[in-house]
Structure 1
Amino acid sequence: MTIFDFSTVFGEFSRPFQHIPYSESYRDYTNGGQWVKGAELPPVNMEGVILPLGNDDLQFDTAGTYTIQDRKLFLQEPETLEEEAVVEVDGLRYRVTGDKPYGHYAGFNVYFLKRTDIGGETS
């Protein structure tokens, strides 16, 4: 049970985005131990509140330095994302670089999104 109810905020401001999952990377020992990067899997449609970063967020944080191209994603539980997950918003890709869990008292988590190129590498 959460202490604060933000369902009306999510109902009004949520917008669609896609989580781009990747298969597991592995070492192919049949080819001399060559590293095989995970392949992109079909996207998963999700919804959340996506905002630009504020001035406080643009400073150094535990996940690194952010720019005005980066975003903040508010995602209602039970939906979650792992660190390094790739999401696509309006045709632009972002990598999850960190989170702030507010789940036990507010029912959502905040994820910091770093702008990336098409392959998911940080730009």
Structure 2
Amino acid sequence: MNFSNLIKKHSTIIKLISDKEGYYDYENGGTWVSGQSEPVDEEAAVFQLSIKDLNSNIQYSEGGQYTRQDIKIYIHKKLLIGQKIVYKDNEFTLSEEIDYTEHASGLRVYLARRAGE
């Protein structure tokens, strides 16, 4: 199955935050420079978790119970669990991946917990 059109119809821009590695700045005395977060725009379909989602088998994860403030992200790109994203000025952390790549043209669904929750 191909979900590209469905994702495109409901797509929005999210910001993926990827950390760069730190480095020693030898031109300035060898001081350590921490890696800087670098937001990258990516297109994805984002939905609030439904009551059905909250009552199903995804209700609990290592981080505890999901809430209505958490989201599901439908995307055709591999992301990293623990990676931060920004959606509608709120930061989220990817907590689980549901891999449909074999059956749905590379589709991946991620559950993301709102930061600070």
Tell me the TM-score normalised to structure 2 length. Answer: 0.77
How many residue pairs get aligned? The number is 102
2:75 equivalent to 1:80: no
Residue in 1 that maps onto 2:53: 57
Structure 1 residue 42: Cα displacement: 1.6
8 A Cα contact 1:20 1:40, kept in partner: no
Counterparts of 1:28-43 in structure 2, within 5 Å, are 39-43=35-39
Structure 1 residue 39: Cα displacement: 4.0
Runs of 4+ deviating beyond 6 Å: none
Q: CA RMSD in A?
A: 2.0
Residue in 2 that maps onto 1:34: none
Residue in 2 that maps onto 1:67: 67
Letter of the 1:14 partner, please give it.
S
2:114 equivalent to 1:115: yes
Q: Secondary structure at the match of 1:56?
A: helix
How many percent identity over aligned positions? 24
8 A Cα contact 2:8 2:45, kept in partner: no
Return the match for 1:15 from 3, 12, 17.
12
Letter of the 1:73 partner, please give it.
I
Q: Secondary structure at the match of 1:42?
A: strand
Question: Which 5+ residue runs of structure 2 have no aligned equivalent?
Answer: 23-33
Question: Which 5+ residue runs of structure 1 have no aligned equivalent?
Answer: 26-37, 117-121
More strand as a share of residues: 2
2:45 equivalent to 1:46: no
Structure 1 residue 65: Cα displacement: 1.1
Residues 12-41 of structure 1: per-residue CA shift (max 9 Å, x gap): 11110100112358xxxxxxxxxxxx6442
